[in-house]
Structure 1
Amino acid sequence: MAITCGLVVANIYYNQPLLAEIGRTFRLSESEVSLVATITQVGYTLGLLFVVPLGDKRERKSLILVLILAAALCMAGAASAPSFVILAAASLCIGIFSAVPQLLMPMAASLASDEERGRVVGKVMSGLLIGILLSRTISGYVGAHFGWRTMFWAGAAVMVLLTGILAQMLPRNQPNFQGSYGGLLKSLVTLTRDLPVLRRSALVGTCMFAGFSAFWTTLVFFLESDTYRYGSDVAGLFGLIGATGAFAASFAGKSADRKGPDFGINLGILLFVGAYVLLAFGGYYLVGLVVSVVILDVGQQMTHISNQARIFSLLPEARSRLNTVYMTAAFLGASLGSLSGAWAWTHFHWPGVCGVGLAFGGMAYLLNRFYGRTASVIAPAL
């Protein structure tokens, strides 16, 4: 499950180190080509909202296999795109069909005991995080040496191979929800309305993913600017540096089991804000930038894992839908962060990007500290 999460989620992030090269292919400005990253994240959000809830209604293995094959077709469409419009449409569909990790996460949680759920979720999430971060490293290298289209073709081939492996190895996992698809989607509203802890986690996730996405969307422009003058391959290497955040996932899961999720969330937000302060003042020096990337990723992943451990403990029979609400909010934040980061870079360059990240981190702290703390929890009728 961890390996599958890493390979599938990589589809969403291959484009980030390649944005400058894609822009040159289609003669687009930095702000225009940044829409590729934003559109892909919007597609992922749509997949979370309309596909992932099916994990509580449809048998998960067959659903996952169909989605991965569809993602392979879309990756091939992006690789052969003759125009930016076709690339944008393919990117939207890549995002929609790459929501597989958010089906696997509740599946892993359902297989774990209450005492080990945080650790198990953290372990599976480690695979997802490594996929996110190493995808940038691999993509940057392939893009610099073989062109950006080659990376999308390679991604399509990986998806086809993965489908064959999962058909043999992934266990079947039967759903609990017996109602209609419309009732399934309606219950998302009920869950959000009646569970203040879920709303708080979703809002914190929105802010953290926004700040995280603002950094990674604009990093390639910062590295190619006069400050560093590096290419996409070096931008991709920063994904390898940031992979240290994956080790925090296991620690965050264990701390959620021992000390409660709030401990990991608060510590993660503190590290995240500290990283952006360091980026603002030390990001112009390579050592400062490297250290900041490590701290930023550790803070983000600690907050994310602890948030998921918190929501998965609410209603076992609705874990796919709880994850849908949380991750939809998180990737709406990621899309907002990509737009905000690109706008800040265009108008204020690196100080603007750091300001955006600090603002989102500060909002995450305030929401986690104050939002919904006094509200009573009503058990929803599902």
Structure 2
Amino acid sequence: MHARTHAPLTPALVALMAFTTGLAVASNYYAQPLLHTLSQHFQVSAAHVGLIVTVAQLSYATGLMLLVPLGDLLERRRMIVTMLVLSACGLLLTASAPSLGLILVGTGITALFSVVAQVLLPLAATMAQPHERGKVVGSIMSGLLLGILLARTVAGTLSALGDWRTVYWCAAGLMLLTAAVMRLRLPSSQQHLGLSYPALLGSVLQLFVQEPVFRLRALLGGLSFSVFSVLWTSMAFLLSSPPWHFSDGTIGLFGLAGAAGALAANGAGRLADKGKAQWVTTGGWVLLGLAWLPLAFAQQSLVALVVGILVLDLAAQAVHVTNQSMIYRLRPDARNRLTAGYMTSYFIGGATGSLLSASAFNLAGWNGVVGVGATLSVIGWLVWLVGSRRVPKHGHHPEAH
């Protein structure tokens, strides 16, 4: 294997990659504050319209497994630009969709190719100097996580200014513009592994067999995102129902509270660089569980809801960034495949959390959602407690640092 990458990783380029990453992933979350509006528009139940979130996450997981590994094989600039354009096409289909069925198709296309974010992330990690890799990963992840959370604010605001379709038209135009900028500014980069596509996909599965740390971190990632998705999937249902009766625009503003927590991503990456990964992971899981205490009172207090959002998002992002900083130290030649395997687990967890959340809200209201979220948090903490004692303590595995 040999690789070629032209041009240094400058702060401006890191900022551009972080913005593009956030924009790409945001396209999967515009629907969340609009779910009750879409439910009324198409006259379907909350569970049916909740399929938009589930389809987005499952399609994203499919792209992670089938497309992201190609970043270890193809010329990455051309691949990134092409995926941005195709993701924009999915947004255009959603914007013009006359039925919920076509929204699901458009959502699936957009999510499949929005995994471009996970091609950019290992590219940045590869271009970064070893001593700053955690910091760079944290910066890109801050962009990604801000995209996820601010997508709700942007969607709610644009829906209030126009209608629910407005955000999709605007997002498609911005995605195409970003594709053009990336074509001009992103350096050429390609690895030559000498593997066929089937062998490339098979090597992702081999990494799960060969790397205990990778298996543990992938499982923790899936569990942490399931907890995150339990909260955010049902947030619109809670805030649009009594006693709050909030509009799309107001519901979207709660994404700003989550964005504040997401800014912790940079700090988590720096701590991982300093060998504090185990400490950050332990603290993250403790906070994920504690966050559901104030969230249990969200039907009576908006202050409790905001506190819960801040704590849960900070903890989830700290665990996630630490996971990625650790796995990128395992196999420098396989960062796209490590990303593919890890993020597939991550979004399968997210899709599971969304399904559980929508079902729990239908069956038991907000209390059901809190119960599911708290249970998943305890499960994640137990997995970490047991798993951290079994991962290798020697060799090239990051837990030895």
TM-score by structure 1 length?
Answer: 0.96
Q: SS where residue 58 of structure 1 aligns?
A: coil
In the TM superposition, residue 227 of structure 1 has moved relative to its aligned partner by 2.6
Supply the RMSD in Å over aligned alpha carbons: 1.6
Please tell me whether the aligned partners of residues 146 and 262 of structure 2 are also in contact (alpha carbons under 8 angstroms). Answer: yes
Alignment partner of 1:126 is 2:142 = yes
Q: 1:375 to 1:138 in 2, by over 3 A?
A: closer
- 1:9 aligns with one of 21, 25, 50: 25
Deviation at 1:260, TM superposition (A): 2.9
Judged with a 3 Å threshold, the aligned counterparts in structure 2 of structure 1 residues 372 and 130 are, in CA distance, closer, same or farther, namely closer
List per-residue Cα deviations over 1:353-372 (Å, max 9, x = no partner): 01111111111111112127
Partner deviation per Cα, 1:42-101 (whole Å, 9 max, x = no partner)? 111111010000010111110010000001111000111111111111111111010011
Counterpart position of 1:147: 163
**Does the CA-based 8 Å contact 2:285-2:381 persist in structure 1?**
yes
- Per-residue displacement from partner, 1:13-45 (whole Å, max 9, x unpaired)? 111111111111211111110001111111111
Q: How does 1:40-119 map to 2 (within 5 A)?
A: 40-119=56-135
Map 1:27-38 onto structure 2 (within 5 A). 27-38=43-54
Give the conservation status (yes or no) of the 8 Å contact 2:238–2:299: no
Q: Report the CA distance shift for 1:118/1:378 in structure 2 as closer, same or farther (over 3 A).
A: closer
Give the conservation status (yes or no) of the 8 Å contact 2:288–2:316.
Answer: yes
| Match status 1:341 vs 2:357 | yes
| Partner in structure 1 of residue 386 of structure 2 | 370
Q: Are the aligned partners of 2:87 and 2:114 in contact in 1 as well (CA < 8 Å)? A: yes
SS at match of 2:194: coil
- Tell me whether 1:183 sits opposite 2:199 in the alignment: yes
The separation in 2 between residues aligned to 1:44 and 1:285, in whole angstroms, is 34
**Aligned equivalent of 2:307, options 284, 291, 296:** 291
Q: Equivalences for 1:110-259 in 2 at 5 Å?
A: 110-259=126-275
Residue 7 of structure 2 is matched in structure 1 by none
Asked if structure 2 preserves the Cα contact closer than 8 Å seen for 1:214 and 1:353, the reply is: yes
Aligned-partner Cα distance in 1 for 2:218–2:390: 17
Aligned-partner SS, 1:174: strand
| Residues in 1 aligned to 2:160 and 2:355: alpha-carbon distance in whole angstroms | 25
Report SS of the residue matched to 1:230: coil
Which one is further off, 258-267 or 357-366? 258-267
Give secondary structure in 2 for the equivalent of 1:175.
strand
Alpha-carbon distance in 2 for matches of 1:111, 1:173: 10
Maintained 8 Å contact 1:245/1:294:
yes
| Cα shift readout 1:124-160 (whole Å, capped 9, x = no counterpart) | 1111111111111010111123111111111111111
Residues 301, 181 of structure 1: CA spacing in aligned structure 2 closer, same or farther, 3 A cutoff? same
Q: Distance in 2 between matches of 1:9 and 1:96?
A: 10
For 1:324 and 1:372, how far apart are their aligned partners in 2?
Answer: 22
Q: Secondary structure at the match of 1:109?
A: helix
1:89-115, Cα deviation, whole Å (9 max, x unpaired): 111111101001111111111112222
The sequence identity of aligned pairs, in percent, is 40
The CA deviation string for residues 198-238 of structure 1, in whole angstroms up to 9 with x for no partner, is 11011111111011011101000000111311111111101
Distance in 2 separating the partners of 1:353 and 1:136: 19
Q: Equivalents in 2 of 1:50, 1:255: separation in Å?
A: 32
CA distance in 1, matches of 2:390, 2:357: 34
For 1:98, what is the secondary structure of its paired residue? Answer: helix
List structure 1 runs of 4+ shifted beyond 2 angstroms. Answer: 281-284, 371-379
The code of the aligned residue for 1:127 comes to G
- Distance in 2 between the 1:162 and 1:145 partners? 24
Count of aligned pairs between the two proteins: 380
Which secondary structure does the structure 1 equivalent of 2:98 belong to?
A: coil
Q: Distance in 1 between the 2:276 and 2:245 partners?
A: 44
Query: Any unmatched runs of 5+ in structure 2?
Result: 1-16, 397-401
- Note if contact 2:243-2:299 (Cα within 8 Å) is conserved in structure 1: no
State how far apart, in whole Å, the 1-side matches of 2:186 and 2:246 are.
41
- AA paired with 1:199? R
Cα distance in structure 1, aligned partners of 2:313 and 2:279: 17
- The answer as to whether partners of 2:74 and 2:191 remain within 8 angstroms in 1 is yes
- Please give the alpha-carbon distance, in whole angstroms, between the structure 1 residues aligned to 2:151 and 2:297: 28
